[in-house]
Amino acid sequence: MALVFAFGVVLLVSVSLSGLAARTVLSTALLFLVAGAVIGDGGLGLVSIGPDDDLVVMLADIALFTVLFTDGQRANLPALRDGWRLSGRALGLAMPLTMVLIAVPAHWLAGLDWPTAFLLGAILSPTDPVFASAIVGRTDVPLRLRRLLNVESGLNDGLALPFVLIFLATAAHRDSGIEHIAWELVLGLVLGIAITAAVALAWRLPILTAEPRLQALGPLAIAVTLYGACHLTHANPYLAAFAAGSTLATLDHVSAERFEPFGDLLSEATKFAALLVFGALITPDRLSHLGVGGWVLAVLAILLVRPAAMLVSLLRTPLTKPERAAAAWFGPKGFASVVYGLLALQSGIPASEVVFDLVAVTIALSIVLHSSTDVPIARKLRVEPMDNLPSGKHDAGAPVSGQ
């Protein structure tokens, strides 16, 4: 109950300060991360959670699935087709380059063997622009930049998983089972498209009409069904989630539009819950074991590796210099890395604790830096802060209710 109470209090504070956060570097995501650290074993000790706790795995998994399903609805087939040149560069060049550029210093700075170093690179290669909401969530930010970041983050989570599993098996000296991994990816893609397409086409029948106030629950029902189907069949749930969202937006844009406000709130709530729990895992004892090399590696991964890999992949593209800089900077590490880091921790490989600690520190640093710089970067793109936000003060020129 202490965890539920803490979530309610921090959520209340975050909502109350959300207008201020939209105009300044204050970050609601950071509030939940810090709150988790305060109530966890490294702080007041009100909540005791271990990285192998089922609650941690479940929340991270659900949060990532929910975010990808919602993001997928912003990337229908025409949007994917129009933005594929840029997204393809990010996925086909920047992502593997990021993996390698993290693995090399991980070997020399953190003392990891090469299979484990490449495992760490694979875990930290996905991005999660959900923390850069002032960029991805703003309609007045250049569309091609939003599409690039959204499609990249939606697809690279699932695409990183095969590399994570292969390097994990190699580090544990087991058969990687590439055929099985490929089957899970394909099955996730097929389920995401097939289940959603079947439902969206069935909704066109005159007899299947939803009451307007319940219409937003239709996509939610698809998401819950798909989530269960993926875990029952061992299909890749992350590719399935993004594919389902994109398919729904392509075949039934009305349902997607009705679901969007509810979906955004749902993904925000699951994201915040996962951040609170994740923050509770970050303790001084865990951080003190990293050493100088581990901290340097985390800083390099955020400040150098991602920007360099993305800038190289975007050479000779129509993006302006500010747009390239924004795309290069906004490579936040999020829930996919949390989930994959937990897989490594639970695998029993010799350096599993070190890998998880490096992942945790890098994600925490990413959340601090990226979620607090989205508004300044948006201003650099000549995007004004949100208008008409409540200030809590009465406007002298506005009519007062009841007068």
Are the CB atoms for 355 and 377 separated by under 8 Å?
Answer: no
The encoded tokens of residue 178 equal 């590439």
CATH number belonging to the domain at 55-381, selected among 3.50.50.60, 3.90.700.10, 1.20.1530.20, 3.30.30.60: 1.20.1530.20
Higher-confidence residue of 130 and 79: namely: 79
The per-residue DSSP string of 268-293 comes to HHHHHHHHHHHHHH--HHHHHTSHHH
Mean pLDDT (whole number) for 146-166: 82
Parse the chain into domains and list their residue ranges: 55-381
Average pLDDT value for the chain: 82
pLDDT digits (tens, 9 = 90+) for 2-29: 788 888 988 998 888 777 666 665 667 7
Cα of 71 vs its chain's centroid, Å? 10
Residue 294's Cβ-side half-sphere holds a number of Cα atoms within 13 Å equal to 19
Mean pLDDT (whole number) for 34-49: 86
